[in-house]
Amino acid sequence: MHVCIGAGTHLFVETGLSDLAVGLILLSSSLLVLCTCLLLLVKLLNSLLRGQVAKAIQKIINTDFPFPLGWLTGYLAILVGAGMTFVVQSSSVFTSAITPLIGIGVISIERAYPLTLGSNIGTTTTAIVAALASPGDKLAAAFHVALCHFIFNILGILLWYPVPLSHLPIRMARFLGERTAKYRWFAVLYLILCFLLLPSIVFALSMAGWQVLLGICVPCVALLLCIVVVNRLQSQKPHLLPAWLQTWDHLPLWMHSLKPLDTIITRVTLCCRKARNSDQGRTSPEDLPQLTEYEKNHAPMAQNSPTLIYDYETETGAVFDSLDGKSSML
* 3-state secondary structure at position 143: helix
297 lies in some domain: yes
- Do 275 and 289 have their domain in common? no
Residues 46-65: tens digit of each pLDDT = 777 777 777 777 777 777 87
Residues 200 and 233 in one domain: yes
Query: Does residue 2 sit within a domain?
Result: no
User: What confidence tens digit (pLDDT) does each residue in 189-202 have?
Assistant: 998 998 899 999 99
Domain contains 14: no
- Helices vs strands, H then E, count in the chain: 14, 3
User: What is the rounded end-to-end Cα distance, in angstroms, of the chain?
Assistant: 59
* pLDDT (tens digit per residue) in 123-180: 898 888 888 888 878 888 888 999 999 999 999 899 888 887 778 888 888 888 888 8
Taking the C-alpha atoms of residue 59 and residue 106, their distance in angstroms, rounded to an integer, is 8
Q: How many domains, in total, are found in the chain?
A: 4
Q: Does one domain contain both 141 and 152? A: yes
Instruction: Identify which has the larger pLDDT, 39 or 4.
Output: 39
pLDDT of residue 117: 92
User: In terms of domains, do 133 and 31 share one?
Assistant: yes
Of 170 and 280, more confident: 170
Question: Considering the domain boundaries, does residue 17 fall inside one?
Answer: no
Angstrom distances, CA of residue 157 to CA of 118, 139, 329: 9, 27, 58
Which one of 279, 298, 321 terminates a domain?
A: 279
pLDDT of residue 100 exceeding 90? no
Residue 3: inside a domain, yes or no? Answer: no
Range in 1-10, 142-151, 162-171, 225-234 with the lowest mean pLDDT: 1-10
Is 114 a member of any domain? Answer: yes
* 203 and 293, same domain (yes or no): no
Q: pLDDT category, 302, cuts 50, 70, 90?
A: very low
Last residue of a domain, one of 231, 249, 267: 249
308/249: higher pLDDT: 249
Domain carrying residue 192: 183-249
Give the DSSP H or E segment for 270.
helix 259-279
Same domain, 272 and 141: no
Among left, alpha and beta (phi > 0; psi -120 to 50; other), residue 281 is left
Residues 6+ apart with CB under 8 A from 238: 246
Domain shared by 238 and 201, yes or no: yes
226 and 312 in a single domain? The answer is: no
pLDDT at 289: 52
How big is the chain by its Cα radius of gyration, in Å? 30
Q: Considering only CA atoms, which of 177, 150, 172, 149 is closest in space to residue 160? A: 172
**Among the three residues 249, 264, 296, which one is the final residue of a domain in this structure?**
249
Secondary structure element (H or E) that encloses residue 313, with its range: strand 312-313
Per-residue pLDDT band for 226 (boundaries 50, 70, 90) equals very high
In a domain, 8, yes or no: no
ω into 68 cis (within 30 of 0): yes
Do 149 and 77 share a structural domain?
A: yes
Same domain, 230 and 133: no
Q: Is residue 6 part of a domain?
A: no
Rounded to 5°, the CA angle 61-39-25 comes to 135
What pLDDT score was predicted for residue 220?
92
The DSSP symbol for 162 reads S
Query: Is residue 236 domain-shared with residue 273, that is, in the same domain?
Result: no
235 and 313: one domain? no
pLDDT of residue 192: 92
Cα angle 173, 99, 149; round to 5: 75
